[in-house]
Structure 1
């Protein structure tokens, strides 16, 4: 019986994804000049021949002055259709899509989460945010000291700031379309700027961009409207949103915002979760993935069970209310059985796979091969090793930092033609 993972998926814009398996966005930490380079392209050349239904890039920042990491590719200035700039990005796009897999660029602004050392603005310059809410890692002395060292206090964005950032997002989308990418994904999760506007904890505004769920969604809705004006009708526009960090008290507010995005014509929605303050997006799942079968035989903890149950309920509630919305779930998928279960249960249309893709770029080829048994169609991973100094760091950052760094190292190995090393084998 053919796997449902092999089914093609057509997005509202008309773009057809050849199967349901998406290489999820991961931090590459390769663009040392903040531009797409040969090393970055060489890494994506591995995924381009891996049998993926779609390839999502790591963050492309819309403003080189505000980066998530020092090595993010980014726009350095206003885009005016420069042919040399298009050619620079076209090489990246062509490499990603060389074997027919659509590539979708994750465009982003980190807002208050831009590290002091990330970006060209200077280490003492303020970050931007909808409200001047600083990063809070905890109340302990070490946590407060690290937050102070890593981030500046954000400056509340003026209307002029908002308009400027919207133009930067529009420029980034237009450049990606001109370069030949198949679409973009707005990064509205993980505590970045779009998420900061959507979330009542970080958006304390009382003007037209805050105060109600609909007003907090205005920023991203304006992004969608303005981007649609400058890209082809067949160009995909998706969005990544948080789920696991929403409480029952804000559940309906989140559903309201999703409804507004659906009405605005979003092509797909990826469900993720976490922020720098609570980085669930990089937390290691020792037991089960969010949507399906076991990744090892250890019993689930009560806390993990509760969070996974909420994640599933979130996805299913979105499906029930907005059945026409193309949904993608990312995080924890390690097996064919697990991915198929999520599809058959109606939890999602697309399965996002991150860390296994960094150690096995052709993982979909194994998952979709009917001659490979279910017991072999897996990629189990242990926790990434942590450095010796981790004992002095806030616990909520240790795992996230170790995982990000470890898999970025594997991506560099891919780019250099070296064998990757799974944590279980290191």
Structure 2
């Protein structure tokens, strides 16, 4: 793995010694020709800042949020999820591409977003997503009677109590098995999103094939029980992903960057995606000649049993580990899976995301050949300028070059919510809350607790409803006055 897809052996020679800062600061050229100034990547995090009815880029918020990330000296920015179907969202507030997105007015917003994100020389790509069966009623513009989509009609199960079942039935219901026409429409929507990113001036796009979203639903035998060309065997479960890669690459050739985010596993037990099948999915991506890098993550929203999902109540490290030739740090959550990819001698770069906090931990992963790129998600929210201020800053020695030690406070409140589908989602709300603060020109609040964020969301929702009602009354009064 390494520059332009060439294999780079671990840094073992004393004559070629590189410091931790040297390792993470080294530029990387992707197969498409896109040059990344260093190895640090701002991971896709849902900003939840777009507004109905069209969910176009909220430039007034992104001017604050993406300006911070642009100035932070990342090697690459990946946007938060951009939904490709306005009917199906995983959470209200995601940006969306829709048939009217190509209009001059809306395209101007996309171009301004791309300009803000890349103003300081860091390239930015757009993550394209579809939640599939994880699309709750009311998040997008789908009518209540319209079912969510899934490769097969497999309902979400999260908790065993009657309240869990009631909440899931109300929010998600039983998904509809996708017809071939549904699949064709989904492909068209993803391709439109990729072309939209290109025409707006972004450096490329990433397909979200992890965390229980639609593409990962096709890749997992738990949710894909089809017997046609899109399921039934490990190879056929990859049909949709392969089709998307080929059709997007046909419309968007290099220097457009095309990436895929994949699961190391979906943690659904013996009926779910097993590691060996996941490795074969990666193998196709790294050898097909159409992908520029693969991001590795894991888990899904239905079963939060991965290290990534279990890490909210656990305090992150407060002291940077030492880099030693004899012992690897293994700071990332999915290092074991990445090491197996390393054995493939991948000709394209691998990004490992989740769990990294220290300069030495990141450098060790690169030095050992486990990965080429380091993904930073939660750290990019709590300390949006972490690379420039700390990780790449020579004023910080290795012992002190790490993100703030932190855990999400108030986990007890999430645990006491009787419906797991509600309580289990509260920790991530802490990060949505802080991105809204950043979008408003404020700084992140690492001490905000889950109950505070919960009740703040209720208050903000009530205030928005009251303001909307007052606005309607004012307009109605003005209209009446004008008629008299």
TM score, norm. by length of structure 1: 0.90
Counterpart of 2:62 in structure 1 is 40
How far the C-alpha of 1:316 sits from its partner, in A, is 0.5
The count of corresponding residues between Structure 1 and Structure 2 is: 411
Larger radius of gyration: 2
Counterpart of 2:399 in structure 1 is 375
- Conserved? CA contact 1:125–1:152, under 8 Å: no
Counterpart of 1:72 in structure 2 is 94
How far the C-alpha of 1:386 sits from its partner, in A, is 4.3
In 2, the alpha carbon distance for the partners of 1:388 and 1:317 equals 38
Counterpart of 1:182 in structure 2 is 203
* 1:349-386 per-position Cα deviation (integer Å, ceiling 9, x unaligned): 11111111112111001101122122321222112434
Counterpart of 2:456 in structure 1 is none
In 1, the alpha carbon distance for the partners of 2:100 and 2:178 equals 19
Say if 1:76 and 1:19 are closer, same or farther in 2 by CA, change over 3 A. same
Q: Does 1:88 align with 2:77?
A: no
Counterpart of 1:263 in structure 2 is 287
In 2, the alpha carbon distance for the partners of 1:296 and 1:277 equals 33
Counterpart of 1:112 in structure 2 is 133
- Conserved? CA contact 2:434–2:445, under 8 Å: yes
Point out where structure 1 has 5 or more consecutive residues left out of the alignment: 298-306
| Residues 9-408 of structure 1 aligned to structure 2 (within 5 Å) | 9-33=28-52, 34-37=55-58, 38-77=60-99, 81-245=102-266, 250-264=274-288, 265-279=290-304, 280=306, 281-284=308-311, 294-295=317-318, 311-365=334-388, 366-379=390-403, 380-386=405-411, 388=413, 390-394=415-419, 398=423, 401-408=425-432
- Conserved? CA contact 2:298–2:334, under 8 Å: no
How far the C-alpha of 1:308 sits from its partner, in A, is 8.6
Say if 1:120 and 1:207 are closer, same or farther in 2 by CA, change over 3 A. same
Is the deviation greater in 378-387 or in 323-332? Answer: 378-387
Say if 1:126 and 1:295 are closer, same or farther in 2 by CA, change over 3 A. farther
In 2, the alpha carbon distance for the partners of 1:236 and 1:309 equals 25
In 2, the alpha carbon distance for the partners of 1:396 and 1:114 equals 13
Counterpart of 1:303 in structure 2 is none
In 1, the alpha carbon distance for the partners of 2:22 and 2:333 equals 27
In 1, the alpha carbon distance for the partners of 2:79 and 2:332 equals 29
Say if 1:343 and 1:389 are closer, same or farther in 2 by CA, change over 3 A. closer
1:414 to 431, 438, 445: 438
In 2, the alpha carbon distance for the partners of 1:174 and 1:355 equals 29
In 1, the alpha carbon distance for the partners of 2:72 and 2:184 equals 40
Counterpart of 2:13 in structure 1 is none
How far the C-alpha of 1:345 sits from its partner, in A, is 2.0
For 2:99, what is the secondary structure of its paired residue? coil
Q: Does 1:3 align with 2:22?
A: yes
How far the C-alpha of 1:263 sits from its partner, in A, is 3.0
Give the alignment's Cα RMSD to 1 decimal: 2.5
How far the C-alpha of 1:416 sits from its partner, in A, is 1.9
Say if 1:223 and 1:205 are closer, same or farther in 2 by CA, change over 3 A. same
How far the C-alpha of 1:346 sits from its partner, in A, is 1.6
Say if 1:272 and 1:423 are closer, same or farther in 2 by CA, change over 3 A. farther
How far the C-alpha of 1:236 sits from its partner, in A, is 0.7
In 2, the alpha carbon distance for the partners of 1:210 and 1:409 equals 39
In 2, the alpha carbon distance for the partners of 1:396 and 1:375 equals 40
For 1:28, what is the secondary structure of its paired residue? coil
For 1:168, what is the secondary structure of its paired residue? helix
- Conserved? CA contact 2:164–2:420, under 8 Å: no
Counterpart of 2:479 in structure 1 is none
How far the C-alpha of 1:310 sits from its partner, in A, is 8.5
For 1:321, what is the secondary structure of its paired residue? coil
For 2:251, what is the secondary structure of its paired residue? coil
How far the C-alpha of 1:395 sits from its partner, in A, is 5.2
TM score, norm. by length of structure 2: 0.80
- Conserved? CA contact 2:296–2:350, under 8 Å: yes
